[in-house]
Copies of this chain bind each other. A is one copy, B any other.
Amino acid sequence: MVRRRRMVRNYDPGRPVPPEVVDRLLDHAVRAPSAGFAQGWGFLVLEAAEDRERFWSAATPGGGGRERWLAGMRRAPLIVVPHANRSAYLERYAEPDKGWADRSAERWPVPYWYVDTGFAALLMLLTAVDEGLGACFFGIPPQRLDAYRAAFGVPEEYQPIGAITVGYRAVDHRSPSLRRGRRPVTEVVRRGRWS
């Protein structure tokens, strides 16, 4: 499943994702690990055509040029938007068993709210492969964030880390970025010492 996964950017618009498969995707998402078991995440699930249309209008740039890949993406019968809630982490680590005296974000060398919500997103991508589906994780441009929040009533403390399209696969083009080639293990792994 790890080896078969790749981002799929075109879907069969006539085949919705069965409800029990949607449930399994979400059930796996919440099994992601999280720092202090904070689970500071929230998922917006869009299936109705009008909800999906509202998403594409709000969260993506208007047509043309570089955005042609969105034509296939728009055929996806399911969109899941994973959100990270930083305040849930700051609260969690101010509890007695963690014992940080304040809720400062400075203490965090790594923003685990994004990492953990990313874990949940990856588990959905992998589960999609396991269910015979395709999926794609992509970013929401910063300049569309306000429009996205307004369209769906998403509060400030929940930040979308991107969005995931899911559906039965149709023929698509592989991302041109893949031409860069995968960096081999020998290039990215150091043993015993970095340098």
**Contact call B2/A37, Cβ cutoff below 8 A:** no
**Contact call B2/A123, Cβ cutoff below 8 A:** yes
Which residues on B sit within 8 Å (CB–CB) of A142?
A: 107-109
**Contact call A43/B189, Cβ cutoff below 8 A:** yes
Chain A: residues with Cβ within 8 Å of the partner, total of: 74
CB distance from A82 to the nearest CB of B (A): 10
Q: Which single member of B2, B3, B190 contacts A45 (CB below 8 Å)?
A: B190
- The proximity string for A residues 163-195 relative to B, scoring 1 for CB distances below 8 Å and 0 otherwise, is 000000000000111101011110011111111
**Contact call A153/B43, Cβ cutoff below 8 A:** no
Which residues on B sit within 8 Å (CB–CB) of A28?
A: 2-3
A111 to B112, CA, bound (A): 11
The A interface, classified by DSSP as helix, strand, loop or mixed, is mixed
- Give the number of times this chain occurs in the complex, counting copies: 2
Q: List 29 A-B contacts (CB under 8 A).
A: A2-B28, A3-B31, A5-B31, A7-B33, A26-B189, A30-B184, A30-B188, A33-B125, A35-B139, A37-B177, A37-B180, A43-B189, A44-B189, A44-B191, A44-B193, A45-B189, A45-B192, A47-B191, A107-B142, A108-B142, A109-B159, A110-B139, A110-B159, A118-B119, A122-B122, A126-B126, A153-B193, A153-B194, A155-B195
**Nearest 7 CB-CB pairs, A to B?**
A115-B118, A37-B177, A109-B142, A153-B195, A153-B194, A154-B194, A39-B183
A residues with CB within 8 A of B: 2-3, 5, 7, 23, 26-28, 30-33, 35-37, 39, 41-48, 51, 84, 97, 107-112, 114-116, 118-119, 122-123, 125-127, 137, 139-142, 145, 152-155, 158-159, 161-162, 175-178, 180, 182-185, 188-195
